[in-house]
Amino acid sequence: MTPARILLVDDEPNLLLMVGDQLKMEGHDVITATNGEDALQALRLQPAHLIILDISMPGMTGLALLKKLSGPDGKPRYPILVFTARSNMELFFKTTGVEGFLSKDSDPAQLVAEVRRILNKTRPPAPVAAAGTAKPPKVALILEDDPKLNRRLKVSFTVAGYETHILMDSHHLAEALQAHPPSVILLKSVLPGISGGTLATQLADYASARGIPVILYDASGINTTATAHPNVDKFVPSDSPAELLKAVASITR
């Protein structure tokens, strides 16, 4: 499933942060709003593929927003997943035309699964390339030594359509470049025994790496400025999968 633009509407800051991060890990572009008025403004600026909507909010409630977003036939003009603590309202919302209903005490995996179900149902399938015109696969080669971040990067880049290969260190870099020719290379700034900047310099010696965009990233704060590097196409002061995907998109279009 390709990434989607999701509008998350809820007045709980912690929930916006937690659920927003969860959806970003899935590779999605997440917009947040704390009330119905802000949600309408966000939609005027940028339409959404899915709206995840709380019901009880100050100002314009979720029910009022749902009415504003519905057409003359009473059906919502956007796919909407109602996400509320009021679990007793599921039967009511089945009559409103929303795509789904989920209680806030549900397991996080249920939310991810429900988002996938709705997006698979409501978004048109990607066009199939004609015979002989298929594009080569997008391949991301990432050097990152944190196992937890490895898993997050793997999920996010795979969901975004990349064949993703992650190395914990640079020892098998040459073999990886040959076995899985990358479309983009991402280097953590501080790696075991070597810096990402030094490794970027060394990549110039690999014929299989020439011409491939290189991103250097650092969330430690050691690199406080994006100092120009002759072999780095972009510096990202973050290790957020969402930010790294944005950086990749900006240099590989």
**pLDDT, tens only, 213-228:** 999 999 887 765 555 6
Distance CA 241, CA 166 (A): 13
CB atoms within 10 A of CB 168: 14
What percentage of the chain reaches a pLDDT higher than 70? 92
Q: In the prediction, which pLDDT does 220 show?
A: 82
Which residue carries 């977003």 as its tokens? 69
Residue 15: is its pLDDT beyond 80?
Answer: yes
Which residue carries 């590097």 as its tokens? 229
Q: What confidence category does residue 11 fall into, taking pLDDT thresholds of 50, 70 and 90?
A: very high
Task: Determine the average pLDDT of the residues in 100-125.
Answer: 88
Q: In the prediction, which pLDDT does 211 show?
A: 85
Distance CA 33, CA 42 (A): 8
Q: In the prediction, which pLDDT does 12 show?
A: 92
106 by DSSP, 3-state: which? coil
CATH number assigned to the domain comprising residue 156: 3.40.50.2300
Q: In the prediction, which pLDDT does 133 show?
A: 54
Which residue carries 């909507």 as its tokens? 53
In a domain, 127, yes or no: no
Domain count, the chain: 2
Closest CA to 115 of 126, 103, 124, 102: 102
CB atoms within 10 A of CB 11: 17
In a domain, 129, yes or no: no
In a domain, 131, yes or no: no
State how far the alpha carbon of 88 is from the alpha carbons of 91, 102, 103, 104, in Å: 8, 11, 9, 12
In a domain, 228, yes or no: yes
In a domain, 100, yes or no: yes
- 62, 92, 122: which is the final residue of a domain? 122
Residue 129: is its pLDDT beyond 70?
Answer: no
In a domain, 204, yes or no: yes
Q: Is the domain of 168 the same as that of 216?
A: yes
Q: Which domain holds residue 146?
A: 138-252
Q: Is the domain of 114 the same as that of 175?
A: no
In a domain, 132, yes or no: no
Which residue carries 């633009």 as its tokens? 5
Q: Is the domain of 115 the same as that of 15?
A: yes
Q: In the prediction, which pLDDT does 125 show?
A: 66
Computed over every residue of the chain, the mean pLDDT equals: 86
Residue 252: is its pLDDT beyond 60?
Answer: yes
Residue 130: is its pLDDT beyond 70?
Answer: no
Q: Is the domain of 16 the same as that of 111?
A: yes
**pLDDT, tens only, 65-77:** 999 998 888 889 8
Residues in Cβ contact with 170 at an 8 Å cutoff, skipping those fewer than 6 apart: 143, 191, 193, 194, 199
In a domain, 62, yes or no: yes
The predicted model scores a pTM of 0.51
Task: Determine the average pLDDT of the residues in 188-192.
Answer: 89
Task: Determine the average pLDDT of the residues in 18-35.
Answer: 89
Q: What confidence category does residue 99 fall into, taking pLDDT thresholds of 50, 70 and 90?
A: very high
Residue pair 214/232 in contact (Cβ under 8 Å)? The answer is yes
Residue 183: is its pLDDT beyond 80?
Answer: yes
Distance CA 248, CA 95 (A): 42
Q: Is the domain of 86 the same as that of 174?
A: no
**pLDDT, tens only, 144-174:** 999 999 999 988 898 888 999 999 988 888 8
Residue pair 39/65 in contact (Cβ under 8 Å)? The answer is yes
Please, what's the b/e burial string for 177-215 (b: 16 or more CB within 10 A of its CB; e: otherwise)? beeeebbbbbbbbebeeebbbebbeebeeeeebeebbbb
Distance CA 20, CA 25 (A): 9
Closest CA to 146 of 69, 240, 53: 240
Q: In the prediction, which pLDDT does 141 show?
A: 95
Torsion sign across C-alpha atoms 128, 129, 135, 136? positive
Task: Determine the average pLDDT of the residues in 189-199.
Answer: 88
Q: Is the domain of 117 the same as that of 152?
A: no
Q: In the prediction, which pLDDT does 26 show?
A: 83
